[in-house]
Amino acid sequence: MKILILFVFIFQISCVNADEIYNLLKIPNLEIYKLKNNNNIRYLSAKGNFKIGINKNITCEEVNINNLNTKFPLIEKNLNRYNSNFLNKIKLKYVVFCENLFISEINTGGIPDIKNRTLILDINFNKKYFERMIHHEIFHMIQNTHIKYFDEDKFSSFNHASFNYAECSTCSNRLNLDQYEKTDGFLTEYSKSIPSEDMAEIFSFLMTDKETIEVKINNDKILSKKVNYIKLNLAKIDKNIL
Amino acid sequence: MIKTIRASKSEKILFIFLICLSIFAFTSFFLLKNKCLFVEKNNLSNLYFNEPNNIAVMNVECGNVIIELYPDISPKTVERFKILIEKKMYDGSAFYKVSENTFVQAGDIEYGNINNLDYSKIGSGNSGLGLLKSELNNDFKFTEGSVGFARTTEFDTEDSEFFITLKEIPIYQGEYTPIGKVVYGLDILTKIKTGNKAIYVLRPDYIKTFRLLNSN
């Protein structure tokens, strides 16, 4: 009997849930949260835990629907700032909500997947940085779809010659997301990790706290060059985003 | 002198039980096993179509599934679909991807034919006719019985695989190229073998023949 129960259990967890959303996005255990929106984003939520990616290194858990209902207006307000034309250009159509998102056992707020036009968001991500995190992840989609506009070597050249970024975003312990009082070319400690994170941090601040950034760049020439570079190239994609 | 031995009451009950059991086993084997028993076969001679040039007839185990094609919505795709039908390339094509009461998918010409099933590659085969550009239509609703051209995760990768929805799937609107709609025989498709909870079907059902009405 125990063997039979074990067999049934193994069978249940090893089978991919065969449904229409999995067929489209290759993420199991999703259901529609909100389908019709002005900018054509389709919101989906995890009705069960899922593991995806190479070696199933991306994991996330089922959402508590009450938790999502509470946080959704804030998420929607931020995503509604992007029009459908812009979202088409950056290949974002689906936003997947789940809780406790990990990539290779590192907790993260969001994971963009351009191939499937999807952004996975952890709705439990630190409240303090939550809105910024949404725009930060969107910048990664902007950069990945418009690499020629956001050249990392060109962007890195704005820094002091003695400064070096880390090899990768998680290879350093530069992870703090709090804004520096004295910026000196970088808005947060995380900005110092790699060029794309630096750009994404600038973009996220421009989307959430533009006034402060405009003040900061008056006294920070490096940051000023970086902000202008982001603004200039973003305007090539859509003049009305910032 | 031979003495007549009368069956006892318990023997009579056992005898009746055995008869009932054999009747039950017989009906189960011949009736319940026949999944097509109560399915309407759709005799073509009894049906009338406004645009017979755009009618395709897919014959599967339980009968005919009749599909109206929409060249006005997806001209290039319907043209490709008709070529594949005319060349009889869908004959023997397996319904290798089936989600119960949700959709059925077939049409892998290279690795999904019942005579040459390759489970390790199924779903990645080509027809040899090249890839097509997606002809997306934001107004086309994938209601019950809609036929769409399948693709990989990327657009413009349509080749020969197609799916038929068994329920309304709103999330597919604007995502897949519409080909047409099933006008008769949707209940036949609900009898196609599923993979239980897995999306891929082991020893799948298949298309016997697929013809355009006018070529019948």
Distance of alpha carbon B61 from alpha carbon B84, whole angstroms: 20
Q: For residue B153, list chain A residues with Cβ-Cβ distance below 8 A.
A: 26, 115-116
Q: Which of A12, A19, A42 sits opposite B102 (nearest CB)?
A: A19
Distances (CA, A) of A165 to A4, A56, A69, A159, B38: 55, 29, 39, 10, 70
Identify the pLDDT of residue A183: 80
CB atoms within 10 A of CB B202: 11
Q: What is the dihedral of CA A85, A87, A89, A93, to 10 degrees?
A: -120
Distances (CA, A) of A49 to A58, A63, A71, A102, B153: 11, 9, 19, 12, 22
Identify the pLDDT of residue A116: 92
**Is residue A95 within a helix (H) or strand (E), and if so which, with residue range?**
strand A94-103
* Adjacent-strand bridge partners of A119: A95, A112
Q: For residue A35, list chain B residues with Cβ-Cβ distance below 8 A.
A: 170-171
Residue A171: DSSP 8-state: S
Residues, chain A? 242
pLDDT digits over B81-132, tens only? 999 999 999 999 999 999 989 999 999 999 999 998 998 899 999 999 999 9
Provide the 3-class DSSP secondary structure of residue A47: coil
CB B148 within 8 A of CB B165: yes
Q: For residue A149, with 0-12 CB atoms within 10 Å meaning exposed, 13-18 middle and 19 or more buried, which class applies?
A: middle
Nearest C-alpha neighbor of B160 from the set B81, B57, B75: B81
Domain positions in chain A are 13-144, 146-242
The tokens for B39 are 């399915």
pLDDT digits over B42-62, tens only? 788 888 898 999 999 999 999
Q: Which of B153, B154, B172 sits opposite A20 (nearest CB)?
A: B172
Distances (CA, A) of B21 to A182, A227, A228, B15, B26: 88, 83, 85, 10, 9
Distance of alpha carbon A207 from alpha carbon B207, whole angstroms: 54
> Which CATH superfamily hosts domain B44-215?
Cyclophilin-like (2.40.100.10)
Residues 6 or more apart whose Cβ sits within 8 Å of residue B196: A15
Nearest C-alpha neighbor of B109 from the set B210, B184, B212: B210
Distance of alpha carbon A205 from alpha carbon A197, whole angstroms: 12
pLDDT digits over B138-177, tens only? 999 999 999 999 999 899 999 999 999 999 999 999 999 9
Residues, chain B? 216
Residues 6 or more apart whose Cβ sits within 8 Å of residue A52: A26, A27, A28, A58
Say if residue B1's pLDDT is above 70: no
Q: For residue B49, with 0-12 CB atoms within 10 Å meaning exposed, 13-18 middle and 19 or more buried, which class applies?
A: middle
Q: For residue B194, list chain A residues with Cβ-Cβ distance below 8 A.
A: 18
Q: Render each residue's pLDDT in chain A as its tens digit; 242 residues.
A: 444 444 443 333 334 445 899 989 999 999 999 998 999 999 999 999 999 988 899 999 999 999 999 999 999 999 999 999 999 999 999 999 999 999 988 889 999 999 999 999 999 999 999 999 999 999 999 999 999 999 999 999 999 998 888 777 666 666 677 787 788 888 998 898 999 999 999 999 999 999 999 998 998 999 999 999 999 999 999 998 88
CB B195 within 8 A of CB B201: yes
Q: Which of B169, B194, B195 sits opposite A20 (nearest CB)?
A: B169
Identify the pLDDT of residue A174: 63
Q: For residue B97, list chain A residues with Cβ-Cβ distance below 8 A.
A: 23
Q: SS3 letters for chain B?
A: CCCCCCCCHHHHHHHHHHHHHHHHHHHHHHHHCCCCCCCCCCCHHHCCCCCHHHEEEEEECCEEEEEEECCCCCHHHHHHHHHHHHCCCCCCEECCEEECCCEEEECCCCCEECCEECCCCCCCCCCCCCCECCCCCCCCCCCCCEEEECCCCCCCCECCCEEEECCCCHHHCCCCEEEEEEEECHHHHCCCCCCCCCCECCCCCECCEEEEHHHC
Residue of A nearest to B138 (CA): A40
Q: Would you place residue B216 in the very low, low, confident or very high pLDDT band (cuts 50, 70, 90)?
A: low
Q: How far is CA A122 from the centre of its chain?
A: 9
